[in-house]
Amino acid sequence: MDDWDGLPTPRRYWSIAATWLALTMAVLDASIANVALPAIARDLHAAPAESIWVINAYQLAIVVSLLPLAALGEIVSYRRVLQGGLLLFVLASAGCALAHTLPQLAFARVIQGLGAAGVMSVNGAIVRHTYPHRQLGRGVGMNALVISVAAVLGPSIASAILAVGPWQWLFAVNLPVGAAALLVGWFSLPDSARTGKRLDWISAALNVAAFGLIIVGVDVLTRGAQGWIGGLDLAAGVLAAALLIRRSFSQARPMVPIDLLRSRLFSLSVLTSIASFAAQMLAFVALPFYFQDVLHRSQVETGILITPWPLAVGVAAPLSGHLADRYSAAVLGSIGLVVLAIGLALLALLPVRAGMLDVMWRMAVCGLGFGVFQAPNNRTLLATARLSGQTIGATLAAILFRAAPAAGPVLSLGLAAAFATGGALVSATRLLDRSPRKRGQPPR
C-alpha cells in the first residue's frame, strides 16, 4: 500500500474513529482525576501531597516513554504500538478502578501512562497513513481539534461522572470505550512500512533514567527523612541526561532531538512551554483542594468552577491562531502568559467567601491568557516539553502541600503566577532573534 494514498472509505472513517477514541481517553485521563483528588485522598487515607502522585505517576510515565515508543513505531509499525498501548491503557484503567490503596492506584496509573504514551506517540503517524495526501492537512487539523476538545471537556466530564458515581467511575468508563476502540482499530488501522533499524535501547534507557530519576529525586529530596536517597536519584538523573545529550549529538538521527536545542529560538520556545505548562498544572492540582477544602464546594461544583478555564481556551485559541499568521508568536505568547499570570494572582488573592461568579470570571481570565499563548506556540513546541512542564508543576505542588499543608493550594497558585510571568519574559526574549525567516515558516 502506498503510504500517501491513505485508506479507502469507509475503512478510513473507522480508522480515524478508533484513533480519536484512543487519543481522547489518553488526553482526558491526564486531567480528569484532578477534580476528584481531594475525594481520592480522603477515601484512600492519604495526605494531599501524596495524592498528587495520582497525577504525577501518569504524567511521568508518558514523559519517559513517549520518545522511545515513537521510535519503536518505526520499527514494529505504528499500528502495533497504538493497539498495544490502547490495550495496556484499558487494562490499567481497570486496575485504577479496583485500587484500594494509594500505592496500588499510583502503580496502576504508571501502567496507564505507559499505555497512553503508546497512543500519543504514534497517533500523528497513524493519521498520516490514514488520510490521502491531498487531505492530510485536514486530518492533522482535526487531530489537533480532538486533543483540544478533550482537554476542554475534561472538567465537565469529570463533574458529570462524579455527580452520579464515586471517583472509581472516572477510570471504569474507559473500559467500554477502550474495548470499542480496540475492536474497531483491529479491523481498520493502517499498516505502515517498517524500517530496518533497531531500537536504540541505550538512548531509551538513558531517556527513562534522566526524566524519571530527576523528578523522583526532587520529590524524595523534599521529604526530609531520606533526603540522601533523593540526592542520589537526582545526581544519577543528571548524569543520565548528560550521557544522553552526548550520545545524541554523535548520532545522525537521535531518538531525542537534542540537536534542535542548538537553535536559540527553539530552546527559548521549549523553556517557554515548560514554564507555561508548569504554571497550568500547579493551578490544576491546587484548585480542587482550594475549592473543596477552603471554599467548601462539592466535587460537582468544583468541576463547574474549573470549566471556564478550558472553555476560555477554546474561545481564545482559534482567534490567537488566526492572529499568529500576522503577528509574532513571541508577542502573542508573552501577552497570553502575562494575562495568565494576572488571572492566577487574582485566584491566589480570592476571598474565602467568594461566590461562584467571583471564581468563574477569574478562571476565564486564566483560560483566555493560556489560549492566546497556546495556539501560536504549538507550532514549534514539543509534546515532551509540555508533559515535562506539567510533571514539574505537579511535583512542585506536592512539595508545597507537604511543606505547608494548610497554605499549599494558595502557595501553589502564587508559584504558578510566578512561572507564567517567567514564561512571559522568556517568550519576549525571542523577539531578539533576528535571523531571517524562510518563506512558508510561521512568524516567530
Are residues 127 and 179 located together in one domain of the fold? yes
Are residues 35 and 87 located together in one domain of the fold? yes
Residue 233 lies in domain: 201-254
pLDDT in tens, 364-422: 999 899 888 876 665 445 566 777 787 788 888 888 887 787 788 888 999 999 999 99
Are residues 192 and 291 located together in one domain of the fold? no
Domain at 295, CATH number: 1.20.1250.20
The DSSP code for 77 is -
pLDDT band at 325 (very low <50, low <70, confident <90, very high): low
Are residues 295 and 213 located together in one domain of the fold? no
Give the pLDDT score at 377.
62
Are residues 416 and 442 located together in one domain of the fold? yes
Are residues 181 and 224 located together in one domain of the fold? no
Last residue of a domain, one of 236, 254, 272: 254
Are residues 63 and 180 located together in one domain of the fold? yes
Are residues 109 and 208 located together in one domain of the fold? no
> What is the residue whose three cell numbers read 518505526?
74
Are residues 354 and 405 located together in one domain of the fold? yes
List C-alpha distances in Å: 206 to 201, 250, 257, 356, 420: 8, 15, 14, 47, 30
Q: Packing angle between helix 329-348 and helix 356-377, nearest 10 degrees?
A: 160
Longest dimension (CA), the chain: 64
Classify 442 in phi/psi space as left (phi over 0), alpha (psi -120 to 50) or beta. beta
> What pTM, to 2 d.p., does this model score?
0.76
CA distance 67 to 65: 6
> Hey, what long-range contacts does 183-186 have (CB within 8 A, 24 or more apart)?
184/14, 184/17, 184/18, 184/21, 185/15, 185/18, 185/19, 185/22, 185/79, 185/82, 185/83, 185/86, 186/83
Torsion of CA 90, 91, 97, 98, to 10 degrees: 170
The mean per-residue pLDDT over the stretch 299-307 comes to 83
Classify 350 in phi/psi space as left (phi over 0), alpha (psi -120 to 50) or beta. beta
Residue type, 338: V
pLDDT in tens, 205-258: 888 888 888 878 877 776 666 667 878 888 998 898 888 888 887 777 777 766
pLDDT band at 439 (very low <50, low <70, confident <90, very high): very low
Give the pLDDT score at 137.
67
CA distance 239 to 54: 27
Q: 75 phi and psi, to 5 degrees?
A: -95, -45
CA distance 404 to 344: 19
Q: Which three cell numbers stand for residue 65?
A: 516513554
To which H or E segment does residue 174 belong? Answer: helix 174-188
Classify 9 in phi/psi space as left (phi over 0), alpha (psi -120 to 50) or beta. beta
Are residues 128 and 234 located together in one domain of the fold? no
CA distance 413 to 291: 12
